[in-house]
Each structure stands twice: as structure tokens, then as C-alpha cells.
A and B are shown apart, each in its own frame.
Chain A
Amino acid sequence: MKKRFFTLIISLILIIWFGFADGLQITGYVRNYDGVLLNDDMDFSIVQNTLDLNFSMQTSKVGFKVNPYIYQYSDKTTVFDVREAYLDLFFNSFDLRIGKQQIIWGKADGVFITDIISPKDLTEFLLRDFEEIRMGVTAVKFDYYIGDNTFELVWVPVFSATKFPEQGSIWAVTPQFPIQPQFDFSRKDIKPSIKNSEIFAKYSVFSSAIDFEIMGGYTWDADPVIHTLKQIDPFTHQLLSLTAIPEHHRLTVAGGSFSTTLGPVVIRGEGAYYWGKYFQSEDPMLKEGVVEKDYLNYLLGADFTIKGIKFSTQFIQQYILDYDNFIVNNEVNNLMTFLARKDLLSGDTLHLELFSYFGLTDEDGLIRPKISYDITDGVNILLGANIFFGDKGMFGRFNKNDMVYVKIKYSF
């Protein structure tokens, strides 16, 4: 019996292998990535070796993709995971994708407004390539096509949260409390159930004059808010103990995005309204130190070319409605991004790029110059720097993490 079972398994593997051998594609890359902090000791910020593989196959009716990857580090445990593993079914007027997948919405570059389905891996802040920042989610995606327009429905049965850096990482952000808190993680996890699933819908129009998307979602906030329970001495009014309880909350989101051309300039916009987002508050009357508010996040951007240099700039505003002064976050956060890129040398083998975030509210930012060279087809070496400035804000808090790095990548 055991022998039969073994033979069956081997036969199945061989049938699948030979059946798919013609159409099976194996692609991917190998990369070495080394970064050095610009401090007195020139500490290594990262020494990482990566293998990223894509197994894929596609016919006119069906397809699949599996994307396993390995991050091997010099100073911590090797990470082995699967970014995507899904099955595609293609029909005349609709498609179905089932499985772990990255789902990207919106027209913004480098900021996340309507792009809220795939949670972020922030273990290296925002420094990874964007395909590595976005994590796959287990979902069913249904696309129905009406001419050049698409209706998309996404059901995410199991919630995935933002992945934050481990304690001790140079990218870890320690919440500020008046005394050292005790952490209670009992409310952090969302129990997988139909009731706790997420659903998103989008209608997108693709036309000569304009491309736009209208979206809505009933989701969970991928970033937990930290509730606090305080024990106060009734006589001295001194804080005796503090319990910090991270918790995700339900969020209803509606928004849209567009892109169009105005002469030689591409104009882009994106915005979303979030109902019921939670924020930390210092209001002493609040039982758990959090408050629920509506929240608006929008962007306007332009892409253009001058003398062969491609430019892209974006203005982003985040606004908490019905704000009160106890809320820890700013009422308004203004941010700008700026990108310039130029390809040089015969065959466009040398690439210069400068990407920057400028926090206008906190007067902080991140400047990311890069120079890369295609040694040969598929082999690229990249030298770059990450320069943080400011004293506070999402970039200023990493002011001591300025670094230079090198990446050597072989794609196959």
C-alpha cells in the first residue's frame, strides 16, 4: 500500500513536470546587498543575500505563479517565505485569481492612499524595493471587464497586519510613554473568520482622455493603535502602572485616483476618506487613551521630462477631521516627493536617480541618490545613499541612520 502510494506521488510529479515543462518559466534574481551607517564606527546596517524565484505558467485559460524568496543575513535568522502563490483562471469577460497575491491600487508612487490591500513590510522602513515592501495577502480577486473598463472585487478572508521591525533594529520605533509600560498583546490578533474578513471593490476606467479608479473597502487598519490602561494612585494622583495594548480597528474607506495628460505633463491624483480611524490621545478623560476620528489622505502629482531628465513630483496631505489638541498626531501632515532620473552611456547602461521625501510639517525628510550600471544584460551594480534629516517626524526620527550601500543583482 505504502509502495503504491509512493509510486502514485512520483507519477503525479512526473506527469505535472512533463505536462508543464514546456510552459513552465523559472525566473528570478540573486542579490548581494551591503549597507554601512555613516557613524563613527561605520557599522554595517545590513549585510543581506537574497534569492528570489518565480515559478510561473500561463495558457489562455489558466495560469499560476509561486514566488518563494530567501533573505540570508550575517547577523540574524535567515528568512524563507513565499511572497505570492496563486492560481489564475481566465474567461472571456472575467478573470479569477485565488491565493496569496500582491494587490496594488492607485496612481501614487511611494505613498499608500487607496493602496491598502497588501500590507507593508517595514522591517527596513521604506528602503526596500516596493515589490519587497508590499506583502502578499491570501485573497480571491475577481475582475469583470466591460470594454476598456474593469470592475474588481477582492475578498480577503484572513487579515494580515503591517510587519514592523524587531526590537533592537535600527528601524524600530519605540512608543513614548511616561513610564515603562507592560505590553498586553491579547487584542492584537484578528481571529480568522468570515465575520472578520475584508472586502474591497474598485471600478476603473481606462481611456484616451483619462484613467481613473473609484474604490471602497471594509477593512482593518493594518497599523495597530496602542490603547493604554493607567493605574493611578487615588491619593497622590501619580501613575503607578501602564499597560499598552496594541489593537487593530475596523476601517471603512472610499476613494479614487486618476491620471491624465496635460500637454507634455502627466497629472496624477489620488484621495481616500477613512471612516473610524483610531489615534492615540493624551486626553485624561479617555479610558484607553485612543480616539476615533475620520481621516482624509490625498495626493496631487506631475510627471514630465526636461532635456532627457525624467522628473516626478507629488504633494501629499493627511488631515484628521474634528481634531482636538489631545491627539498625539499632527492635525495636518504635508509631504512632498521628488524624483529625477536620467539614463546615460551607449545602450542606456548607466542610470542616475534621485528620490526624496520632504516632510513639510515636521521639516524632515529622506534623500535617496542612486547610481547604477548594467555590467551586462541582467547584471546590475547599484551604489546608493539614504540621507535622513530633521529632528522629528517619520523621517527625522531616523536622523542617525544615514547610510551608503551597494547592491549587486543578477536577474535570470
Chain B
Amino acid sequence: MKMKLRNFIILIIAVTFVSGGLFAQKKLTGLEIMKKVYNRPSPKEMEAKLTMTLISSSGSKRVRTIKQFIKDFGKVEKKIMFFLAPADVRNTSFMNWSYDDPNKDDDQWIYLPALKKVKRISSDSKGDYFMGSDFTYDDLGDRNPEEDNHKILRMEKVNGLDCYVIESTPKDEDYMYSKTITWVVKDRWYGVKKDFYDEDGEYLKTLTLKKAENIKGYWIIVTVEMFNKQKNHKTIMHLSDIKIDTGIPSRMFTERMMKRGL
């Protein structure tokens, strides 16, 4: 399933948004609102340095650093990540190809420098936590709104912005979350907060948008925080050195580059 550029850890907001006015008078359904979030325009290419700070209940911190490149090839979007720190994972690389075709699973490979080998891995483990953070692989992807039933709970102000509060329940009963609640900014169609509930219906964690920057006409959310209440553990994701539409060569997304590294 395709992961849009605006996702993974970022939420990209198109500045030139004209549809808000057009739809302002119409009463929207929950599905329509979530589709607006899903279909927001996004850049074709992006590279950035990603820093994840994992903070335990005692306050101790662990830092993971990654350099990532993403490019949309039309029917397939390719992403490659080079792990820079900590030292024991340095030179590991990970590549993901995701497809427009909703029936086609992602292709994923990992290069482990100790084994000097690129291994194909299954994209089925979307419930796994990414590098020990509070984000699962699924959290970092772009979930198609058609996979959930959506209900508008209420309108609420967050940081002075009018937000739709949308409850989404999965159609697949085996999905890792029993429901999510998202605060979507009215007329801008991006989320500022999202609560996750586990398979037993218990509150699990909250994703909070912390900082956004306007780069080349797109609002890029550069800092987000995921707080896991059940584990009392927190992850802050921060993007730096962001470059958009710089002409990343196709050969960046190959086995050759996975092995060579940066």
C-alpha cells in the first residue's frame, strides 16, 4: 500500500489550498474529511535528516539518527533510509517501495553491514515498533481512509484553530488499534493531534504536532511527539536539513546504494 510523501513521520500541508472555501458551506462526513487529509498535495521528492529521541519514564534519552530520501515515481514511491547512529546500527540501510495499487503490498529490504548482505523482509510486520520508538511502521505510513469507518464526534478548538474531532474504527477487526481519534484543522485538512486505542479498547498513546515550517510552498511538520501512556515512554521525531524537489537520481533507490551507503 502506498505511503505518501507527506507521511511517515511528516505531515505536509499544501499552502496553496483553495478548496477550503469551496467546501465551507457543505456539511462534510467523517470519511470526506479524512479523504481531504489523505489526498492533500505533496512534493515529488524529499530528503532530510531524521532524529528520533526516545525518552524513558526515568527521563533517560536514546537518540537515533537517519538520513532519508523519498521519491515519487508515479505508480511507485521509493524510500531509502541510512542509519547514522547509534554506533551499533551505523551503515544499516532500509529501502521501501510502496505502490498505488491498494492490493499490492510494499516491498522492503534491509542491508546489514555485519552480514554484508541485502535481505528482503516482509512488510507484514506493520505493528512492530520502528527502531524501538513509540511509532509503529503503520504509524509512519499513510492509512487509506477507506480502511476505516469515520464519525464526526464534535468540533473543538486546539491552539486557537477550529478542529473536527473524528473517530475512526477499523473495518478489519484484527487491526492493531481498536480506534483512533484525530483532531483535523478545519479548512486546512491536517491533523494536529491523534489518540490511539489498543486492541482491548484502552487508551494507548497520543501523537502531537509540535512544529511546522514552510518550505517551497509546502507546510512541513518538522517536529512531532508520540507519548505512550501505557509504557510511560515518549519519542520526539525531528526533521532537519530538509530539501524538497532537488532532483534525487533514481539510482539512489537501488541495492547498490544500500550497500555503498552515504
Contacts and interface: CB of A to CB of B under 8 A. Distances in A.
- Genuine A/B complex: yes
Interface of A: 27, 29, 58, 90, 95, 102-104, 107, 129-131, 143, 145, 148, 150, 204, 206, 208, 211, 259-261, 263-266, 303-305, 308, 310, 343, 346-349, 376-378, 380, 409, 411-412
A376 B120 contact: no
Interface string B49-74: 00000101100101100000000000
Interface residues of B, number: 43
B233 interface: yes
Contact of A150 (B76, B97, B122, B256): B256
17 contacts: A27-B87, A27-B90, A29-B87, A104-B116, A131-B116, A143-B256, A150-B256, A204-B255, A206-B255, A211-B120, A264-B124, A305-B125, A305-B128, A308-B127, A377-B85, A411-B88, A412-B87
A349 B132 contact: yes
A305 to B, nearest CB: 5
Contact of A131 (B114, B122, B131): B114
A252 B116 CA distance: 24
A346 B86 contact: no
A264 B174 CA distance: 15
Interface in B222-236: 231, 233
Contacts of A380: 88
Contacts of A264: 122, 124
A378 B120 contact: no
B71 to A, nearest CB: 14
B29 interface: no
Given A27-B87, A131-B114, A349-B132, A261 B122 contact: yes
A135 B81 CA distance: 28
Contact of A130 (B62, B115, B120, B261): B115
Identify the 7 closest CB pairs spanning chains A and B, nearest first.
A264-B124, A348-B132, A377-B86, A411-B87, A347-B132, A411-B88, A104-B116
A130 B114 CA distance: 7
B255 A148 contact: yes
Interface of B: 54, 56-57, 60, 62-63, 76, 85-88, 90, 97, 105, 107, 109, 114-125, 127-129, 131-133, 231, 233, 251, 254-256, 260-262
Given A58-B261, A411-B88, A104 B121 contact: no
Given A130-B114, A347-B132, A376 B62 contact: yes
Contacts of B117: 104
A305 B137 CA distance: 14
Contacts of A265: 122
A409 B88 CA distance: 10
B56 A347 contact: yes
A106 to B, nearest CB: 8
B256 A304 contact: no
B122 A304 contact: yes
Contacts of B262: 58
A378 B255 contact: no
Contacts of B107: 208, 261
Given A130-B115, A308-B128, A346-B231, A148 B86 contact: no
Contacts of A305: 122, 124-125, 128
Contact of B121 (A58, A145, A303, A376): A303
A213 B56 CA distance: 44
Given A303-B122, A308-B128, A376-B60, 19 more contacts: A29-B88, A58-B260, A58-B261, A95-B256, A145-B256, A148-B255, A208-B76, A208-B97, A259-B120, A260-B120, A261-B123, A266-B120, A305-B128, A347-B54, A347-B233, A349-B132, A377-B63, A377-B86, A378-B87
Nearest to B116: A104
B87 A150 contact: no
A12 B186 CA distance: 65
A266 B88 CA distance: 26
A148 B254 contact: yes
A208 B121 CA distance: 12
Contacts of B116: 102-104, 131
Contact of A378 (B76, B88, B123, B233): B88
Contact of A266 (B121, B133, B254): B121
Nearest to A148: B254
B80 to A, nearest CB: 13
A346 B88 contact: no
Contacts of A378: 86-88
A261 B105 contact: yes
Contacts of B90: 27
Interface centre among B109, B120, B121, B254 (most CB of A within 10 A): B120
Contacts of B114: 129-131
B79 to A, nearest CB: 14
B62 A377 contact: yes
Contacts of A95: 256, 260
B115 A347 contact: no
B254 A346 contact: no
B120 to A, nearest CB: 4
